[in-house]
Amino acid sequence: MLTPNATPQPPHERSSGERRHAPGDRVGQAGTSERPGTVSDELERWLHGEGEKTVAGLIELVGEKSFAILFVLLLGVPALPLPTGGATHVFEIIAVLLAAQLIAGREHIWLPKRWRSLELAGDRQQRLISGLTWLIRRLERVSTPRLRILFDHRLSNIVFGVLVITGSLGAFLAPPFSGLDTLPALGVVLLSLAVLLEDFAIVIAALVVGVAGVVLEIFLGSAALSGIEHLFR
Single-letter amino acid code for the residue at 74: L
- The domain in which residue 79 lies consists of 39-228
pTM over the 0.85 mark? no
Cα of 68 vs its chain's centroid, Å? 3
200 inside domain? yes
73 inside domain? yes
pLDDT band at 121 (very low <50, low <70, confident <90, very high): low
Q: How many domains does the chain have?
A: 1
Tens digits of per-residue pLDDT, 181-224?
Answer: 889 999 999 999 999 889 999 999 999 999 999 999 888 877 77
233 inside domain? no
Distances (CA, A) of 4 to 1, 10, 14: 9, 17, 20
